[in-house]
Amino acid sequence: MSRTFSKIALIGKYQSVDGSETVLALARCLRERGLEVWIEQGMAGTIDKAEGYAIATYEEITGKADLAVVIGGDGTLLNAARRLAERAVPLVGVNLGRLGFLTDLPRADACEQLGEILDGHYREEARFMLEAEIVRGGQRVFQTLALNDVVVNRGQLGRMIEFEVMIDGEFVYTQRADGMIVSTPTGSTAYALAANGPILHPAVGGIALVPLCPHALSARPVTLPDSCHIEIILLPPHDARVHFDGVNYFDVRAGDCLRLQRSPLEVCLLHPESYSYFAMLREKMHWSAVPRHN
């Protein structure tokens, strides 16, 4: 059953000239369709001609918008997805970035393809998130969500760290490495891919553990069921840094425990009817591309 869209929020990449122009162009297209258009507050502050449109905070968008259109790259969409996850506001991504694994509407065709989605011609897809917390001395000191990945790395000192990995309370191994990537299927085409991790189809209920430059050559990526509870305990004397979707981070100390599990919250993505996951991979990964010759 198709959704009904009447209140549309536009969220863009801050301090982006292309983003500002595209936001205004889409706002005009939506207004011509008789729809109520909101521009996210932070983005509106960077646009000269935003005064003619309603300005909304993320909290207002979460509670009232029928659709959020995100203009930017995958990082912009990741940030919006995390902030709107509580109500699973549907997201459409307009690509202004380089790769655009998540933002699949090209800017040149954004108004036309967005119109098709508003007319009910779309594919709906749910992406699960990771719920992350850091425990220190038995007390939670940090909690957040991640759609792409959670990355433990060696931080500012630039030396290997050592940590234990526990799955569902069972000891798996002690690892010496530059760090560890814990990735959802959505994040499997991001940092995890660069670290030789597996590509997971979005419909796969799996979480990938991908070591970063492990000291033991036998250490390999492992894909776990998404029902697993994962713990990564940092061992003395090391300190480290944990990144969440590359958006925010937390500095951890020896003895801290990073706990991860699938979140009950999901991100809802809307794609054009012509969208194909494998066609997207062929384009972004240059599969079957004609070789270039000098």
> Which of the residues are catalytic?
74
Element spanning 122, H or E = strand 122-136
Strands 230-234 and 161-167, bridge-based pairing: antiparallel
Residues 6+ apart with CB under 8 A from 190: 74, 101, 148, 149, 183
Which amino acid, one-letter code, is at 200?
A: L
At 72, list the tokens: 């930017």
Nearest to 137 by CA among 265, 254, 278: 254
CA torsion, ordered 154, 155, 156, 157, to nearest 10 deg: -20
**What does the longest C-alpha to C-alpha distance in the chain come to?**
61
Which residues are CB-contacts of 171 (< 8 A; sequence separation ≥ 6)? 164, 165
